[in-house]
Structure 1
Amino acid sequence: MKKQNVLNLIKYHVERNENAFRNEAITIARHFDSIGDYQLAEYIMGLIAESNLYVPQASDSESEFLKAIEVKISDPLSLPAEIADDVKGVINAINHNMGINKFLFEGLPGSGKTEAAKHVARLLDRTLYYVDFDNLVDSKLGETNKNITKVFSEINRIPYPEKTVILFDEIDVIALDRVNNNDVREMGRVTSAILRELDRLTDLNEEIVIIATTNLFQNFDKALSRRFDAVINFNRYNKDDLIEVAELYFSSYVKNFKGISKNIRLFKKLLKTAERLPYPGELKNIIKTSLAFSDVNNSYDYLRRLYNHLVGNLEKTDIEQLSEQGFTVREIEMLKGESKSTVSRKLNGEDKQP
């Protein structure tokens, strides 16, 4: 700590500049923490917290490895009851403040893992940071190992841990099975570093919440998976769940498009006709693009595009096939863009040559 830090504190106090005073005090606390005087650093941060001067901000803990994420939910989040109950359980476990603070969300891409992590942070009123793997993973032998030590050191120095969630999104990058990885030795070092740091985090800081996500749990290192207090499986959607999610997305997005005729009944029938439905992430994009790419002069064109995405090629599907799939004359008219009389005539076989 320099004399200038003391002078700055006095200056900011006289000027009643609370933000600058707070930041200077945090700088001083970090200095004492860096030289090993942890008690004094904690005491200073405690005084700041008690005086309501400290409010976690993105700039307080950002670095080359930790980046802030906006946790305001812009898209609707709809999870099957079983998954939603487990996410509520995660929130309850954190609120119990018993050191159960490390969670692994596993599931297919688009199953809602990252959005659920944002949801957890928002409901807990915590600042959410994600670990930037682009900076953490280094092509130089051994550098990734060192960077893992650095990022956990930064996590352990976060000044307001009880107001923080750290997200290791798609941790597969550094946590795949050591046995099956081509570079066994280097991956072993990286995984060992993560194991060591997670154990150390448990000993030093039980207030920071760690959430990791993985798309490749079957290849996940088993020793590492055991370091998490709970593993939440996001692969528990049935078709009814996905239809409910799709309807939520559709109702949220369709209101932003002028000239679109909202037809929930036909929308749901398209979904039920599909042999399989993609998971929410992909489903959301299909609905958005179908609406966005639709012909502004055809209020039902989005339904044709949805059919093509989810069921089959509408242009190559004749009216008789659509009828067999359960679509009414009026619905076929909307999908095909043909008049009711034309559809009826074709269904009655009046257009067929003798």
Structure 2
Amino acid sequence: MKKKNVINLIKYHVEKNDIQFRNEAIEISRSFNAEGDYQLSEHIVNLLSTTNTLVPQDLQLETRFLKKISNSSISLPLPVSISSDIKGIINAINHNVGINKFLLEGSPGTGKTESVKQIARLLNRQIYGVEFSSLIDSKLGQTNKNIVELFVEINKLPFPEQIIILFDEIDSIALDRINSNDLREMGRATSTILKQFDELSLNIVLIATTNLYSQLDKALSRRFDSIINFDRYSEDDIVEIAERIFNSYAKKFPKIGRNIKLFKKIIRLINPMPMPGDLSNMIKTALAFSDINSDFDYLRRLYGFTDFSLDDVETMKLNGLTVREIEILTGISKSQVSRELKEE
């Protein structure tokens, strides 16, 4: 770090020039990194990622093809492996070394789009999503012209350090040219996107998502600097995330009974185990529809998402539920549950 970096830092702070202050701080972080002081460098990056003082201006940059997307203020529960990759994306963007194109791929409901919102929140950036409905045109050749126009708009955006461009479900326009039913038109559109990706400014951060990675054009996949796989949820990950989701929603239902052990058992009985998006809806619905006069009605409703019936106490027992847990779910007394199990 040089004396001028300190002087510039103070100058930009006094001038309340958040953009240049942030850029100077990143430059200082790089200098420490080059000198081998990696911990201090990373500490500066983390401070920039979490500080509330460098809030971007309220940019209004919507165009024909770009629409502003609100960031999420709620922490997103993710497995450690995926969370680590998300932190890597944040670090790569902060280091500003030309790694600026990222693809998040995986099944629906795995948290890809929400992760982009978290990245934007942590970087104090605003998301502008591509409107594919405006981009794709039925007129021959017009889609290609729209794609070119879109990237011209992107490359000319002011304050690129405050923006993330999101291609949500990029497979809408860039499926495999070889397997496309409309080979010529799809091929032209995908070829145009490939060219525009190559000409994308290094100052622009572009993140795309897809549920159809295997069908995505391979040449486009190679254009991304990093591809993050979101299909890395173990059964234990799902149960842990379910508990965190439940705890966040349960704050609004102070009168419900808490039985996390039974809650986890029910989650493990849902087949197939739901991804976080569906899981969140299930838990929220079970809580919202529950009887306010019943402590555990939400657990009964959650059990309804399994393949099993509340009338089948023997199967409940075989699935590892205790007599007390069966009593909670069915409303039948423990003594009666025990009799039915003995009889069967």
TM-score range, shorter chain: 0.7 to 0.9
Q: TM-score, normalised by structure 1?
A: 0.78
Q: Aligned residues: percent identity? A: 57
The 2-side partners of 1:268 and 1:55 are apart by: 41
Aligned to 1:165: 164
Write the letter of the residue equivalent to 1:312.
D
**Residue type matched to 1:235 in 2?**
D
Partner of 1:94: 93
Q: Which residue, 307, 311, 323 being the options, matches 1:312?
A: 307
TM-score using structure 2 length = 0.80
CA distance in 1, matches of 2:249, 2:222: 40
Deviation at 1:253, TM superposition (A): 0.6
The separation in 2 between residues aligned to 1:260 and 1:132, in whole angstroms, is 42
2:317 partner letter: S
How far did residue 313 of structure 1 move? 3.3
In 1, distance between residues paired with 2:56 and 2:247? 36
Q: Which has the larger radius of gyration?
A: 1
Mapped contact 1:175–1:220 kept (Cα < 8 A): yes
Residues 171-250 of structure 1: pairs in structure 2 closer than 5 A: 171-201=170-200, 205-250=201-246
Q: How many residues align?
A: 290
The C-alpha deviation readout for 1:248-289, integer Å capped at 9, x for no partner, is 110011121253212111101112334431111111111111
- Which residue pairs with 1:34 in the alignment? none
**Cα distance in 2, alignment partners of residues 190 and 58 from structure 1:** 30
316, 327, 334: which one aligns with 1:333: 327
| 3-state SS of 2:208 partner | strand
How far apart in 1 are the matches of 2:214 and 2:73? Answer: 30
The match for 1:301 among 282, 291, 297 is 297
2:316 pairs, out of 306, 316, 322, with 322
Deviations 1:70-117 (A, max 9, x none): 21323x411111111111111111111111100010000011111111
Structure 2 counterpart of 1:11? none
Q: Which amino acid aligns with 1:300?
A: F
SS of structure 2 residue aligned to 1:231: strand
Match status 1:285 vs 2:293: no
1:165-200 Cα deviation digits (max 9, x unpaired): 100000110010011111100001100111111111
Q: Structure 1: how far apart are the matches of 2:62 and 2:153?
A: 9
State the partner residue of 2:139: 140
Alpha-carbon distance in structure 2 between the residues aligned to 1:91 and 1:327: 43
User: In structure 2, what is the Cα distance between the partners aligned to 1:69 and 1:298?
Assistant: 39
Q: Residue type of the partner of 2:129? A: Y
User: Which segments of 5 or more consecutive residues in structure 1 lack a partner in the other structure?
Assistant: 1-53
Contact 2:69-2:128 at 8 Å conserved across structures: yes
Q: Could you tell me whether the CA contact under 8 Å between 2:100 and 2:225 is conserved in 1?
A: yes
Q: Which residue of 2 aligns with 1:271?
A: 267
What residue in structure 1 maps to residue 112 of structure 2? 113
- For the aligned residue pairs, the C-alpha RMSD in angstroms reads 1.7
> In 1, are the aligned partners of 2:56 and 2:162 still within 8 Å (CA)?
no
**DSSP-derived class of the 2:189 partner:** helix
